[in-house]
Amino acid sequence: MTTDTLEQARQILQQARSVVCFSGAGLSAESGISTFRDTETHALWSRFDPMKLASPEGFAENPARVIDWYNWRRQTLALAQPNAGHRALARQPALIQITQNVDNLLEQAGCSPQHVIHLHGDITEDRCNDNCGYRERVDLQNPPPLRHCPRCDGWLRPAVVWFGESLPQREWQQADTLARHSDCLLVVGTSASVYPAAGLIHLARRNGARIIVINTQRSDASPLADLELIGPSGQWLPSLLQERQLSSTPN
């Protein structure tokens, strides 16, 4: 990738009044968090069956297996640090982050929690599987084994979205509005293959946004991109965003 492409991407950002970042697992890859689909053999869905570990049916079949798997991921996250990509995004206090990531590395890097929209939930919390509304933060280093909800006696489960489940309504509405009204969507580290989240890229584009994609390889977002920066986000984001203050809400 040439410096010309970087310069063109900078110009797109310069001209945009309202920029929104839409990220996926690749953003956290350089922090040691596995992606789901990748050419890398350690990608989660090439090692594990998502229907057994990330679906309501898988949980009903064997809840302890699901909890143990999420607790293993939580312990990995407990040891992880934000990388240069998270930190570059956190230096943009007015930039709203729509993320498919369930980790808390953007917040750890310094992003305001009010500016991070987690479309697929939050692995740092448990919630009642019977939807009584109970939620509780878990200790990532020592996550609790399978246990009952103290309020209604259902099972507690990670507060994440599983295959076949709806996205959280408030977060989805916020993301939909932002995608419709942004001038530029910065698409970072996502295969753009999981819907409805990936539909935000199409929505933003239909509404006139320029699309900048950062990914180590071509992805389903490539055909939608005005410009693509191929390489790790921990390298591209600091140089793309330096000396710039971006905003998601034009004055």
Comparison of 96 and 187: residue with beta carbon closer to ligand OAD:
187
Q: Is 38 in the site for ligand OAD (CB under 6 A)?
A: yes
CB neighbour burial string for 105-129, b if at least 16 within 10 angstroms, e if fewer: bbbbbebeeebbbbbbbbbbbbbbb
Total residues contacting ligand OAD (rule CB under 6 A)? Answer: 28
Please give the residues from 133 up to 172 whose contact with ligand OAD meets the rule CB under 6 A: 160-161
Q: In the set 138, 149, 194, 211, which binds ligand OAD (CB under 6 A)?
A: 194
- At position 130, the amino acid (one-letter code) is D
Q: Measuring CA to CA, which residue among 218, 153, 161 is closest to residue 187? A: 218
Window 59-118: residues binding ligand OAD (CB under 6 A): 100
Among the residue ranges 1-9, 23-31, 129-137, 171-179, the one whose residues contact ligand OAD (CB under 6 A): 23-31
Taking CB positions, which residue lies at the least distance from ligand OAD? 26
| Dist. CA 25–CA 186, nearest whole Å | 14
Encoded tokens for 66:
């699901």
- Rounded to an integer, what distance in angstroms lies between the CA atom of residue 213 and that of residue 190? 9
Check residue 62 and give left, alpha or beta (phi > 0: left; psi -120 to 50: alpha). beta
Does residue 35 belong to the site contacting ligand OAD (CB under 6 A)?
yes
Q: Which of 25, 211, 213, 241 binds ligand OAD (CB under 6 A)?
A: 25
Q: Kind and range of the H or E element at 123? A: strand 121-128
Of 86, 115, 118, 120, which residue is the catalytic one?
Answer: 120
Among 187, 232, 241, 246, binds ligand OAD (CB under 6 A): 232
- Please tell me whether residue 28 binds ligand OAD under the rule CB under 6 A: no
Is there binding between residue 190 and ligand OAD (CB under 6 A)? Answer: yes
Asked whether the beta carbons of 179 and 207 are under 8 A apart, the reply is: yes
Which of 139, 131, 121 has its CA nearest to residue 156? 131
Alpha helix positions (H), 30-168: 44-47, 50-53, 56-61, 63-79, 84-90, 105-109
Q: Does 37 bind ligand OAD (CB under 6 A)?
A: yes
d(CA 68, CA 246): 40
In whole angstroms, how close is the CB of 154 to ligand OAD at the nearest point? 21
Task: Determine the interface stretch with ligand OAD among 28-36, 89-97, 146-154, 177-185 (rule: CB under 6 A).
Answer: 28-36
* Residue partners of 163: CB distance under 8 A and separation at least 6: 50, 51, 54, 55
Segment contacting ligand OAD (CB under 6 A): 110-118, 130-138, 145-153, 211-219? 211-219
CB of 244 to ligand OAD, least distance (A): 20
**Is 120 an annotated catalytic residue?**
yes
Q: What residues line the site for ligand OAD (CB under 6 A)?
A: 24-26, 29-30, 35-38, 43, 54, 100, 120, 160-161, 189-191, 193-194, 214-217, 219, 232-234
Active-site amino acid positions: 120
